[in-house]
Amino acid sequence: MRRWLVVMAALIGVCWSLPAQAQERPRNVILFIADGCGPASFTLARDYLRATAGQEQLALDAHLVGSVQTYATNSLVTDSAAGATAFACGVKSYNGAIAVDADGQPVATLLEGAEARGMATGLVATSRITHATPAAFSAHVTSRSLENEIALQQIGQGIDVLFGGGKQQFLPTDQGGRRDDGRDLLAEAAASGYHVVTDRAGFEALTATPAIGLFSDSHMAYEVDRDAAAEPSLAEMTRKAIDLLDDDPDGFFLMVEGSRIDHAAHGNDPAGHLHDILAYDAAVAVALAYAADTPGTLVLATSDHETGGLTLGRDGQYAWRPEVLARLTHSLEPMVAALREDGRPIAEVMRDMAGIEDLTYQEGARIEVALDDPGRLAAALSDVISRRALIGWTTGGHTAVDVNLYAFGPGSEAFSGHLDNTDIGRMLARLLEIDLDALSAALQARAVGDAR
Ligand SMILES: [Mg+2]
Ligand SMILES: [Zn+2]
């Protein structure tokens, strides 16, 4: 009788725990990071779509589940390195840290954990692939500036798909790269079995992993300036990465970053910022459609921090004007080049590239006095455009504002409410049954061994 009770209790225990586990464990995880994109930036993009395309919502909007606090160990305002280390490793660290803890010790990443579980892995970014966000998933260095070392670690990790910019960190100086060790990492990767492509045609032809696609020397173009014949969009890279990764029976882990949303916000660049957010949302839509068709796929989307201190409405006015942004056909960078390098007249550039037909004398004068310095000129152009659009910026850097969290698919119920950025990494590890602490202990033991 007593034995039966024990058996019954065990069975109840099994039944109790089974549904929760069966429900939670996703087969595939696609983690989206909108670098430098706070809540106001998503409102900007949504209001813009509503005003110009009659679209009521972003693809992301239906999946908002919470907010994320972003501070680093050494500052309430994080950088992308500490932010990505929190997501990738579940560990708080200092600004500049790439998958190392506050003491500079290497800490294991979700990508390493996924590889250890036999999952396929991929990283997609529009910045240099060695830039802080993708770096923190794929390398361990004490400073984000060590991009040549990051490239070296990236090609030795067994990552199945790497798409983005940043050829320069993989090529020696005599081939136009920035490596002073003389190594051609793309040739080395190809020799070790990677399919290496550097242009649109090569990208289209990719059908197998492992694959590296690097489509620019440094960062890829802002979406608003992108030459579609030369560079794939973030949505295209996302679709291709999923196609390449999804035949692994153990599932896949893919990180996709809208990297340059942040860069445009640093430059207070309205069109650069807006169109990179829209491109990011389009990439999320690709993943959501895949996840809707592919049971077992968790799509998570968040941001590492806000950048620019963007406000919609300014100077006491209860309005902002998306139609001003709709007339912009370029980011600030080519406008600066047209004025300074091509010497084109201010009124002509403002008409042809910003859609401003009625530039005032005062606006023209503000631009003219800044012509001799590219930074001041970009700031003057931003100011003229932003005042017309009634949007404001408080900084050329990051802010401490909480960021949005979106989730869809199995395991998404674990993500709700207000979370810390390290919770994202910790909870993903738990869902994927990855023991980050054990992997970190092994990494640190190896680092000590290497040092001896
Ligand atoms: Mg980034
Ligand atoms: Zn930034």
DSSP assignments along 218-269, one per residue: SSPPPGGG--TTTS--HHHHHHHHHHHHTT-TT-EEEEEEETHHHHHHHTT-
CA of 192 from ligand 2 middle (Å) equals 34
For residues 187 and 332, membership in a common domain is answered with no
Residues 6+ positions from 337 with CB-CB distance below 8 Å: none
CA of 78 from ligand 1 middle (Å) equals 12
For residues 294 and 386, membership in a common domain is answered with no
For residues 46 and 174, membership in a common domain is answered with yes
Query: For this structure, is 80 an active site residue?
Result: yes
For residues 182 and 214, membership in a common domain is answered with yes
**Is residue 3 in some structural domain?**
no
Q: Given a cut of 90, is residue 352 above it in pLDDT?
A: yes
For residues 244 and 283, membership in a common domain is answered with yes
Predicted confidence band of residue 380 (pLDDT cuts 50, 70, 90): very high
Q: Given a cut of 80, is residue 335 above it in pLDDT?
A: yes
Q: Which residues surround ligand 2, an ion (CB under 5 A)?
A: 36, 262
CA of 360 from ligand 2 middle (Å) equals 33
Overall number of domains in the chain: 2
For residues 320 and 298, membership in a common domain is answered with no
User: In this predicted structure, what is the pLDDT of residue 3?
Assistant: 54
Q: Given a cut of 70, is residue 230 above it in pLDDT?
A: yes
Q: Which domain holds residue 277?
A: 27-309+396-451
Reference 390, options 19, 92, 15, 44; nearest CA is 44
**Is residue 132 in some structural domain?**
yes
Alpha-carbon gap, residue 129 to 152, rounded angstroms:
12
CA of 223 from ligand 2 middle (Å) equals 17
For residues 50 and 157, membership in a common domain is answered with yes
User: In this predicted structure, what is the pLDDT of residue 431?
Assistant: 97
Reference 37, options 370, 279, 226; nearest CA is 279
Q: Look at residue 407 and give its three-state secondary structure.
A: strand
CA of 305 from ligand 1 middle (Å) equals 10
Of the three residues 392, 417, 433, the one that is the final residue of a domain is 392
CA of 134 from ligand 1 middle (Å) equals 7
Of the three residues 375, 392, 409, the one that is the final residue of a domain is 392
Predicted confidence band of residue 24 (pLDDT cuts 50, 70, 90): low
Predicted confidence band of residue 21 (pLDDT cuts 50, 70, 90): very low
- What one-character DSSP code corresponds to residue 412? G
For residues 113 and 140, membership in a common domain is answered with yes
For residues 175 and 299, membership in a common domain is answered with yes
Using only C-alpha atoms, the chain has a radius of gyration, in whole angstroms, of 23
| Catalytic-role residue among 41, 80, 303, 386 | 80
CA of 5 from ligand 1 middle (Å) equals 56
Assess contact for 287 and 256: CB atoms under 8 A.
yes
Assess contact for 310 and 399: CB atoms under 8 A.
no
**Is residue 265 in some structural domain?**
yes
Ligand closest to the CA atom of residue 303: 1
Predicted confidence band of residue 25 (pLDDT cuts 50, 70, 90): confident
To the nearest whole number, what is the mean pLDDT of the chain?
Answer: 95
For residues 142 and 236, membership in a common domain is answered with yes
Ligand closest to the CA atom of residue 262: 2
Alpha-carbon gap, residue 319 to 312, rounded angstroms:
8
**Is residue 316 in some structural domain?**
yes
Residue type for 70, please?
T
For residues 295 and 367, membership in a common domain is answered with no
Give me the CATH number covering residue 341. Answer: 1.10.60.40
Q: Give this prediction's pTM.
A: 0.94
Reference 422, options 253, 313, 304, 309; nearest CA is 304
